[in-house]
């Protein structure tokens, strides 16, 4: 009985013992691979919708929009709202605008439009596209326009979405701007909720644009980095610092040709906490107006210190501009208390500024003086004088 339940030895070891003899030629049969039938091939449409949506997340929105041209099923799946909450068109094509608009949703909160560093009207957004955003995307809050070409007669700030909270216009050409007003005139009425504006690398940005931006009551972040024409703007900087920019927290003026004259004006902004400055490579610090210890001195204030010297702008009859120190009994009460200051590649910033900062800037948390003439000895003294303050000093 016991032996009858056991399998034969040959069966147990049939996978352990292999034939060592070579088969005869007559026994060798050739095999030919045949293509699988259509039922065995798994295509994209054979996958469930959830998997296809997951795969579509790795596509650019430019390519995702082209899925509508493949078949109705992929068009349906590519329309999933989760894919279009923050669309990014890196290769924007004006001829595809009607397809892009068909994909945008009411839940879309952010749109990025660019064209790989190439400026061309054929790859720039149209007036019709921007006008329809407020209807199609009622919750849109962030809009980025990069490497675009606009005609000011067709596209201006009046076509922008009213609920925008942040607006970026970078490396963009704007043609036919009227001489009588700035391109941004009226932006406070068109987009009253703007809190962040990035206007970088735009040669069309002139000093008179500053007056339009100053009217935005909720503006907290302003970047004018790389705007080469933003220079000699003392009248606009002075007026706007007194009448506008009531909520401005961060001012980015890197790679703009500003000097002490403009910097002194912005020191009147009591809400200002962060200032980013970096000299353009083309700037001649021996010949051109630049940033020095005198211009930075206004950032070094002590609360409730009487008879504090501040900088006053003097304009003579010939139009010349000069700065001088003036004693002000309550000068610190209407000036900013800066916390983050970056002053890079300004060789006329010296140890004199560091000494003043160590003595009168207890609120300064971060300082970058890369490319200045400050000595290592004075930098070490500054560090020792602020042991409880987090700081960052480069040179």
Q: Give the dihedral of Cα atoms 109, 115, 117, 122; nearest 10 deg.
A: -130
Query: What are the residue ranges spanned by the domains of the chain?
Result: 45-81
Q: What is the three-class DSSP state of 320?
A: coil
367-370 — which CB contacts under 8 Å span 24+ positions?
367/341, 367/342, 367/391, 367/392, 367/393, 368/341, 368/342, 368/343, 368/344, 368/392, 368/393, 368/394, 369/343, 369/344, 369/393, 369/394, 369/395, 370/344, 370/345, 370/394, 370/395
The pLDDT value recorded for residue 362 is 82
Distance from C-alpha of 275 to C-alpha of 286, rounded to nearest angstrom: 23
Distance from C-alpha of 49 to C-alpha of 45, rounded to nearest angstrom: 9
Beta strands in the chain (DSSP E): 88-89, 110-113, 142-146, 149-151, 166-170, 173-175, 196-200, 221-223, 250-254, 274-278, 308-315, 321-328, 340-344, 366-368
Rounded to a whole number, what is the distance in angstroms from the first to the last CA of the chain?
94
Output the six-digit token pair for 30: 């050739």
The pLDDT value recorded for residue 303 is 43
The pLDDT value recorded for residue 394 is 63
Q: What is the three-class DSSP state of 95?
A: helix
Q: What is the three-class DSSP state of 90?
A: coil
The pLDDT value recorded for residue 7 is 42
Distance from C-alpha of 337 to C-alpha of 270, rounded to nearest angstrom: 7
Output the six-digit token pair for 329: 């009994």
pLDDT less than 50: residues of the chain? 1-33, 303-317, 319, 321, 323-324, 326-332
Q: Cβ atoms within 10 A of the Cβ of 261, count?
A: 21
Distance from C-alpha of 309 to C-alpha of 223, rounded to nearest angstrom: 29
327 φ, ψ (degrees, to nearest 5):
-80, 125
The pLDDT value recorded for residue 332 is 46
Interval 245-294: pLDDT, tens: 999 999 999 999 999 999 999 999 999 999 999 999 999 999 888 999 99
Distance from C-alpha of 184 to C-alpha of 389, rounded to nearest angstrom: 40
The pLDDT value recorded for residue 78 is 82
Q: Give the dihedral of Cα atoms 64, 69, 74, 78; nearest 10 deg.
A: 30
Distance from C-alpha of 199 to C-alpha of 77, rounded to nearest angstrom: 37
By the 8 A CB rule, do 172 and 150 touch?
yes
DSSP H/E element including 188:
helix 187-190
Class of residue 267 by CB neighbours under 10 A (exposed 0-12, middle 13-18, buried 19+): buried
Chain position carrying tokens 């675009």: 148
Exposure class string for 358-372: b at 16+ Cβ within 10 A, else e: bebbbbbbebbbebb
């Amino acid at each position: 009985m016991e032996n009858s339940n056991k399998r034969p030895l040959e069966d147990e070891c049939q996978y352990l013992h292999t034939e060592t003899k070579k088969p005869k030629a007559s026994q060798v049969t050739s095999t030919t691979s045949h293509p699988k039938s259509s039922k065995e091939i798994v295509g994209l449409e054979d996958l469930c919708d959830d998997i296809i949506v997951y795969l579509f997340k790795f596509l650019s929105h430019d390519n995702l929009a082209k899925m509508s041209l493949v078949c109705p099923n992929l068009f349906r799946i590519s329309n999933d709202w989760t894919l279009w909450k923050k669309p990014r068109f890196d290769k924007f094509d004006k001829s595809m605008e009607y397809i892009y608009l068909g994909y945008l949703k009411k839940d879309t909160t952010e749109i990025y439009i660019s064209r790989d560093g190439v400026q061309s009207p054929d790859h720039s957004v149209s007036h019709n596209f921007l006008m329809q955003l407020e209807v199609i995307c009622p919750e849109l809050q962030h809009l980025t326009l990069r490497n675009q070409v606009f005609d000011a007669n067709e596209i201006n700030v009046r076509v922008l979405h009213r609920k925008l909270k942040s607006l970026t216009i970078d490396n963009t050409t704007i043609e036919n701007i009227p001489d009588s007003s700035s391109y941004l005139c009226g932006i406070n009425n068109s987009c009253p909720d703007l809190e962040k504006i990035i206007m970088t690398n735009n040669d069309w940005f002139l000093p008179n644009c500053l007056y339009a931006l100053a009217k935005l009551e909720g503006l907290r972040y302003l970047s004018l980095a790389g705007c080469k024409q933003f220079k000699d703007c003392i009248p606009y900087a002075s007026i706007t610092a007194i009448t506008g920019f009531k909520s401005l927290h961060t001012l980015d003026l890197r790679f703009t040709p500003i000097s002490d004259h403009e910097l002194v004006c912005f020191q009147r902004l009591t809400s200002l906490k962060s200032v980013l400055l970096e000299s353009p490579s083309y700037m001649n610090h021996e010949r051109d107006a630049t940033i020095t210890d005198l211009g930075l001195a206004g950032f070094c204030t002590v609360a409730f210190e009487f008879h504090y010297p501040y900088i006053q702008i003097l304009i003579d009859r010939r139009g010349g501009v000069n700065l001088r120190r003036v004693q002000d009994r309550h000068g610190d009460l209407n000036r900013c208390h800066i916390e983050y200051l970056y002053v890079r590649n300004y060789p006329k910033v010296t140890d004199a500024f560091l000494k003043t900062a160590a003595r009168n800037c207890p609120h300064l948390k971060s300082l970058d003086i890369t490319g200045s003439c400050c000595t290592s000895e004075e930098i070490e003294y500054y560090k020792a004088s602020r042991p409880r303050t987090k700081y960052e000093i480069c040179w």
